[in-house]
Structure 1
Amino acid sequence: MAATTDTFAAPIAAPAPTRAHLGRRTFAPEGRGLAVLLVLGSCSSFQIGAAFATRLFPSTGAGGATLLRLGLAACLMLALTRPNVRAWSREQWRAAVLLGLSLALTNGFFYAAIARIPLGVAVTVQFLGPLTLAAVLSRRVRDLGWVAIAAVGVAILGWRDGGGAAASGGRLDALGLGFALVAGLGWALYVLAGARMGKTVEGRGGLAVSLAIGALALLPFGTRGATHITERPGLVLVAMCTALMGSVVPYTLELSALRRIPRRAFGILLSLEPGIAAFAGWLLLSQRIGVVCVIAIAVVVAASVGSTATAREKEV
């Protein structure tokens, strides 16, 4: 990671939502091509993890699947990073708790959403959270305009077209859309909590601890469902794949990408995620994507790219 501090936080200076952040950096031009592949790999891995999670839903429910994902990811990350938590200050623990709770909120409601609506739709709606936060922090009319455009795209998702906006061919589940909106709120809170974590805890040990805290917060909601995997041992492998592909792999790839490209370029690449999610839902889950959904996702992606490209960012 060059001569930088390896932290885990989403940059609040860049409007496009991100799951990772580094401090001041220098970038080698020859590493940018690899960075593009790393970000695309991260987005793909995240959506593959979500697809694996849907295989758990019939047995564990969304809450159980979320608990398994965060819990197993926490165990893996703690084993890899071995953070020296005994030396942490009260401020560092507070940052870890806030990040952990935001992770629990975001992932819990996101999984509840994809249990009811297509993957691409859920990710698209969820994007409103960090985009709105960035616009509010920017306080520029132009950035509020990008959010308005994204909101129009999300509103389009409620329309019905001949091919069917939802997997069922009818209108999208209203509760599922609501869950995705709450997940977007959680993502916005995660951006703030991640930025705070990045200032107080060095290395990825903070992420490992926060994942564990998030899993603990989900125990009351997911324990009963999570224990059902003991009845079907094959689901243990699915749960491990969910944790690896949904957390460990994408976060690691993003951190590697951010060593090579500025946050602005990273944010633009990450703005493609709704489209990648829609493709993953079609390819892995046989979720139909109607014309209206394609238009809506394209509008949100364009708003996210525009928001990132026109951002005022103190970046190299």
Structure 2
Amino acid sequence: MVSLQGGAAIAKSLFPVAGAAGTSSLRVGFSALVLIAIWRPWRRSLSARDAGWIALYGAALGVMNLLFYLSLTRLPIGPAVAVEFTGPLLLAIAGSRRRSDIAWIGLAVLGLGLLLPLGGAGGLDPIGIALALAAGVAWALYILFGQRAGRGDGGQAVALGMLAAALVVAPFGLAEAGMALFSPAILALGLAVALLSSALPYSLEMVALRRLDRTTFGVLMSLEPAVAALLAYLLIGEALTPVQWLAIGLIISASAGITATRRPAAAEPISPPEPATRR
């Protein structure tokens, strides 16, 4: 989480020179090169059906990254991450049949309400909120498509999916940043963002998931909005109001609650993650 959100803070510092779309292009483009070099997806044949799921998975991944970075042009990183979390949170709740989950829905809705521009101290830009919510929807689709895409060779799916994401985002990045995107200094920072935001955290999560059960992992991941807000404050000086911190806390509580109260069967040790595990 520190690596991922540290990368987001560096990415936001690139916005004035490369733009949100340009920075997103650098992230997914360099990530695709790194993953292709690691997994060498050409070594395994690919059926048309699998290729279709990977294309959908990659498109959702690209759109998710692009929308999230666009939301950061209008929102602090911590609240943007918290709002984006509603996508997988609602997906988890949609698969549940327990009445107790209504309480977690209520916490998430209350947290979102405190972030909306309704005249309160925590109100944020409505377009930024809409972009983060849209990124959350794309994250939910990324999970659904990734589960299908990862049923074959997970490494191949991740590498080719990231390549598809790069092809989706690249036109927007080039249109926004033009040739400035290829400045050596910007390329170097873009590579750092890709390593911090993709290659390193994905690798660490694979190690973590071999040693943690799904519930523990999910509860820990629920802390990500707070980690994002704290790092944004330390690295780029984004300070939040008490109401915004409260909103983030409510959304974290909802995410941790729905994860921690799953049936025991969901808490069994699991193998390394499918590509759907993280954005």
With the length of structure 1 as denominator, give the TM-score of the two structures.
Answer: 0.80
Q: Is the 8 A contact 1:67 1:219 kept in 2?
A: yes
1:101 aligns with 2:59: yes
Determine if the alignment matches structure 1 residue 185 to structure 2 residue 137.
Answer: yes
2:187 and 2:12 map into 1 onto residues whose CA distance is 14
SS of structure 2 residue aligned to 1:189: helix
**Residue 158 of structure 2 corresponds to which residue in structure 1?**
207
- Identity value in percent: 39
Give secondary structure in 1 for the equivalent of 2:238: coil
Alignment of 1:28-43 (within 5 A): 43=1
Q: 1:315 & 1:298 partners in 2: Cα distance? A: 24
Indicate if the aligned counterparts of 2:86 and 2:133 stay in contact, CA closer than 8 A.
Answer: yes
In the other structure, the counterpart of 1:13 is: none
CA gap of 1:185–1:231, structure 2 versus 1, over 3 A, is closer
Which segment is superposed worse, 217-226 or 257-266?
217-226
Distance of 1:225 and 1:45 partners within structure 2: 27
- Higher helix fraction (1 or 2): 2
What is residue 194 of structure 2 aligned with on the other side? 243
Q: Partner residue of 2:97?
A: 139
After TM superposition, which residue ranges in structure 1, 4 or more long, deviate above 6 angstroms? Answer: none
Q: What's the Cα RMSD here?
A: 1.7
Secondary structure of the 2:100 match is: helix
**Residue 79 (structure 1) aligned with residue 37 (structure 2):** yes
Helix, strand or coil: the match of 1:199?
A: coil
2:29 partner letter? G
Find the counterpart in structure 2 of residue 293 from structure 1. 244
TM superposition shift of 1:142: 2.0
Corresponding residue of 2:224: 273
Mapping of residues 254-265 of structure 1, within 5 Å: 254-265=205-216
The Cα of 1:198 is off from its aligned counterpart by 2.4
Are the aligned partners of 1:59 and 1:228 in contact in 2 as well (CA < 8 Å)?
Answer: no
Map 1:118-197 → 2, pairs under 5 A: 118-158=76-116, 165=122, 171-197=123-149
| Alpha-carbon separation, structure 2, partners of 1:314 and 1:305 | 14
Alpha-carbon displacement from aligned partner over 1:245-288 (angstroms, at most 9, x marks no partner) = 11111111111110111111100000000100110111111111
| Gapped regions of structure 2 (runs ≥ 5) | 269-279
Asked if structure 2 preserves the Cα contact closer than 8 Å seen for 1:95 and 1:200, the reply is no
Q: Which residue of 2 aligns with 1:308?
A: 259
Deviations 1:17-43 (A, max 9, x none): xxxxxxxxxxxxxxxxxxxxxxxxxx1
TM-score normalised per structure 2: 0.90
CA distance in 1 between counterparts of 2:203 and 2:182 reads 32
Number of paired residues?
A: 266
Q: Is the 8 A contact 2:24 2:66 kept in 1?
A: yes
Paired with 1:214 and 1:141, the residues of 2 have a C-alpha distance of 37
Say which SS state the counterpart of residue 130 (structure 1) adopts.
helix
